[in-house]
A and B are shown apart, each in its own frame.
Chain A
Amino acid sequence: MAAENQSLATYLPVLVQVVLGLSIPAAILLVSHIFGQRAKGNYIKDKAYECGLPSEGKVHPRFAVKFHVTAMLFILFDIEVVFLVPWALVYREFLAASIAITGATAVFLGILVFGLVYELRRGALEWEK
């Protein structure tokens, strides 16, 4: 437990920095609210700004399904990237100790490349069509 606490204590500056990072922008906004002129609303200010034209249609319009596909593909590939990080750290050590790792890596990278090629050939991200 002591060792665990020690390694967590290494990250104390990160915790402090996160707290500072959240509180400084909030403090700036507060100061700006106190010092800034009081805003008076009027009809024009309370309308969505679209370069002076009257706004038409919904404020949250329908958007292309491609964005959704992009997000799903991102999650798939990003998980593969995350799995590759620990591999990158031990790969050369395993090679030096002649532990068989190349075959397994080749299979994993093969799946990644196959997935990428399949996705690109299917035209999952053809934005013009």
Chain B
Amino acid sequence: MEALLLDLLRSPELPYVAARGLVLIGAVMTIAGYSVLLERKASAWIQGRVGPNRTTTPFLAWIPLLGSFLRLGGFIQPAADGGKFLFKEDPIPAHVNKPYYVLAPVIALAPALAVLAMIPLSALPDGTPLALCPGADVGVLLMFAVSSLGVYGIALGGWASNSKFPFLGAVRGSAQLISYELAMGLSVLPVFLLTSAPGVDDGLNLATIVAGQEGMWNIVRQPLAALVFLVCIFAETNRHPFDMPESETDLVGGFHTEYGAFKFGLFFVAEYGHMVIGSSLFILMFLGGWQLPFVETAAWGALGTVAGLAIFGAKLAAFLFFFVWVRWTIPRFRYDQVMRLGWNVLLPLAVANLVLTFLVLAVAG
């Protein structure tokens, strides 16, 4: 094992792999920053306000039309937010459990960044997926396993704060996350069944799942599974209407009440990073990934790769907007309603869908 690790560390590929990983992380953090802007702008439109339209920088402001467009659109706001997080007073209150208090935001964000290696974004001209780890035979399982480790960040953050309401938020959040994980795991099994036709070996590879949707997306073949999975990713990302860990109305500020500066910022980025990952999973498993119906991008060569990337990006943007739209439309559930929905509605639905698929396949072959 040590020899293997040494071999890997000496391999000439390592800098390239690390560089590609850094680019991907940078892209996702930028997307996360601009999702916050989207959230603020969309909520403003929904509520009849204008949203952020003041932030600007000297040089940009002097460009005639573009400058005022960027200012009114709030396009510099994410950079200003990041700068403010960075230069703010960075307090550690005396009553917290220091090592774990500092560790929690790191643990919350790390899984979201680590699973990015699995996501295939498009197909290269020779048919291999454009991903950091293209040969990942267990891609989906690894994504589920690692991304759900984010719950430790919430649990640890709430517990280490040594404060009542963050603690309650952490307990609620962990129970909610594990409850919806069940329905989520069961809802994707029919997708695996559809993908793993006789002769298909790597049915857990995300690129194989995308290839299996050529002609018809899984959302058409498995609408119920798609619905259950959709609700579950809302619950897993702690988004409205499921944001139990930080329900401001009854828990002050939830599990990150005692956090400030960039430690709070990391929790924020982690939430939006999980949104990006959840959306990507849904797009890859149910919305055909980088494919469009009736368009053969695979035949276009290098242009097809770029087109695939653009299609994936467009679907991702639409899905992120959907997240925001739902948040500002549906009010928050009560905690017992959330748990009842998870155990008494979604879990039986997912099981029923699995049994139905099993029976149909047994009869039809």
Contact yes or no, A70 B185, CB < 8 A: no
Contact yes or no, A90 B196, CB < 8 A: yes
Q: What are the residues of chain A within 8 A of B335 when measuring CB–CB? A: 127
Shortest beta-carbon distance from A22 to chain B in Å: 5
Q: A55 to B178, alpha carbons, bound, how many Å?
A: 30
Q: A106 to B110, alpha carbons, bound, how many Å?
A: 40
Nearest A residue to B106 via CB reads A25
Contact A112/B351 with A25-B266, A31-B86, A55-B164 known, Cβ cut-off 8 Å: yes
Chain B: number of interface residues, binned into ranges: 35 or more
Q: A69 to B168, alpha carbons, bound, how many Å?
A: 16
Contact yes or no, B196 A89, CB < 8 A: yes
Contact yes or no, A63 B171, CB < 8 A: yes
Contact yes or no, A12 B8, CB < 8 A: yes
Q: What are the residues of chain A within 8 A of B92 when measuring CB–CB? A: 39
Q: What are the residues of chain A within 8 A of B280 when measuring CB–CB? A: none
Chain B positions 261-310 with a Cβ under 8 Å from a chain A Cβ: 261-263, 265-266
Q: A77 to B343, alpha carbons, bound, how many Å?
A: 11
Q: A5 to B146, alpha carbons, bound, how many Å?
A: 22
Contact yes or no, B186 A125, CB < 8 A: no
Contact yes or no, A85 B86, CB < 8 A: no
Chain A positions 45-72 with a Cβ under 8 Å from a chain B Cβ: 45-51, 55, 57-61, 63, 66-67, 70-71
Number of A-B contacts (CB under 8 A): 249
Contact yes or no, B179 A48, CB < 8 A: no
Contact A127/B4 with A18-B110, A59-B163, A59-B164 known, Cβ cut-off 8 Å: no
Number of A interface residues, CB 8 Å? Answer: 77
- Is B141 part of the binding interface, using a Cβ–Cβ cutoff of 8 Å? yes
Q: Which among A36, A47, A102 is the interface contact of B89 at CB below 8 angstroms?
A: A36
Shortest beta-carbon distance from A48 to chain B in Å: 4
Contact A48/B17 with A77-B182, A81-B186 known, Cβ cut-off 8 Å: no
Q: What are the residues of chain B within 8 A of A37 when measuring CB–CB? A: 87-90
- Is B27 part of the binding interface, using a Cβ–Cβ cutoff of 8 Å? no
Q: Which among B110, B162, B262 is the interface contact of A21 at CB below 8 angstroms?
A: B110
- Using CB atoms and an 8 Å cutoff, list the residues of chain A in contact with chain B: 5, 7-18, 20-22, 24-26, 28-29, 31-33, 35-39, 41, 45-51, 55, 57-61, 63, 66-67, 70-71, 73-74, 77-78, 81-82, 84-85, 88-93, 95-97, 102, 105-106, 109, 112-113, 116, 119-120, 125, 127-128
* Apart from A48-B258, A60-B164, A88-B193: 13 A-B pairs, beta carbons within 8 A: A12-B13, A20-B22, A32-B88, A37-B88, A41-B94, A50-B164, A70-B175, A70-B179, A81-B185, A102-B358, A105-B358, A119-B343, A127-B339
